[in-house]
Amino acid sequence: MENRLWKNLEKLKDAVRGKKILLFGPPGSGKGNRSRDLEALGLVHVSSGIALRATVKDDPESELSKNARSYMERGELVPDEIIVPIIMNHLNQEKCQKNGFVLDGFPRTKAQAEALFSKIKIDLALYLDVPRKFLIFGIIEGNRRVCVECATGYSDFDLPHIEGICDKCGGKLVRRADDQVETIENRLKLYDEQTKPFLPYIKTQTTLEILPITVSDKEKINEERLKTLKNHVYWVETDEGGKARMLNLEGMRERLYNLLAERFQ
Ligand code: ADP
């Protein structure tokens, strides 16, 4: 992982232009930040969470908004009839077709997946593999905060340069109202029950690659690419009960770009 497989950013941009990429992973697995990295390569970011929040904000009094809001506030999935047309409209826009896109937070049910794959050919699905123990811990203890403008996520593990202000766009950083222990537990439970089970189906429809956030003990890696908290490298318990070190934002970007270079360059 130390070796950079991509030569330069322009070449990588050329290689991924027009590609349709799906991000798949539980809440808190870094879909937002990986989306930022893919956006930096020219892909259009389509996020179901952002699209829903924008729909609700633009027309708060509509029946659709009230209905969607009631599910979102409880951390439950918004019904397929609401979310499918919102996302498909986005994806059919010319800019998505021309530049390619990164789809984040959709599909989350088998029905959504079928609606998507029946209409659009996806070039690559990335499964963001983050140890279970870290998901809630990272959001709560890591004090997750997101940019109100561009939705970039920060935490005590990935601090912004200036507290409260987004490095990327200067927007204000806030805690999300649904980042509470119970709501996250509910979102994780829904992920296990409704989303994770159709991973095998995704494999039948496109290429699926795993993008792990941890570095195994044997893997040599630049220390500055590891997460630190209070100046200590951060260790996490893996799902198998072992321990592993965590990559930081830059390390994950490098790993993602290497994977794209291997696949598309
Ligand atoms: P997270 O990934 O942390 O759950 P999102 O911003 O992706 O957060 O989504 C926020 C909320 O929007 C979800 O809790 C859910 O209510 C709703 N939502 C987002 N995407 C979908 C989807 N594909 N299907 C149904 N509901 C969704």
Per-residue pLDDT at 66 exceeds 60: yes
State the distance from the centre of ligand 1 to the C-alpha of 49, rounded, in angstroms.
Answer: 5
Q: How far, CA to CA in Å, does 97 sit from each of 49, 117, 138, 208?
A: 21, 15, 34, 21
Reported pTM: 0.90
DSSP structural state of residue 198: G
State the distance from the centre of ligand 1 to the C-alpha of 169, rounded, in angstroms.
Answer: 23
| Percent of the chain's residues with pLDDT above 70 | 99
Task: Please identify, by atom number, the ligand 1 atom nearest to the C-alpha of residue 71.
Answer: 16
Cβ atoms of 55 and 149 closer than 8 Å:
no
- Closest C-alpha residue for ligand 1 atom 3: 27
- Closest C-alpha residue for ligand 1 atom 19: 49
pLDDT of residue 234: 87
Confidence category of residue 69, pLDDT binned at 50, 70, 90: very high
Residue 40 main-chain phi, psi, to 5 deg: -65, -15
- Closest C-alpha residue for ligand 1 atom 23: 106
Is the CB of residue 52 below 6 angstroms from any atom belonging to ligand 1? yes
Confidence category of residue 158, pLDDT binned at 50, 70, 90: confident
- Minimum mean pLDDT among 34-43, 138-147, 206-215, 251-260: which range? 138-147
| Greatest distance between any 2 Cα atoms in the chain | 55
Is residue 34 part of the annotated active site? The answer reads no
Confidence category of residue 91, pLDDT binned at 50, 70, 90: very high
Q: What is the rounded CA–CA span in Å between residue 28 and residue 101? A: 21
Q: Which residue has the higher pLDDT, 76 or 253?
A: 253
Per-residue pLDDT at 2 exceeds 70: no
Task: Please identify, by atom number, the ligand 1 atom nearest to the C-alpha of residue 191.
Answer: 4
Is residue 187 part of the annotated active site? The answer reads yes
Cβ atoms of 150 and 143 closer than 8 Å:
no
Mean pLDDT over each residue of the chain, to the nearest integer: 91
Interval 81-106 mean pLDDT: 95
Is the CB of residue 68 below 6 angstroms from any atom belonging to ligand 1? no
State the distance from the centre of ligand 1 to the C-alpha of 107, rounded, in angstroms.
Answer: 10
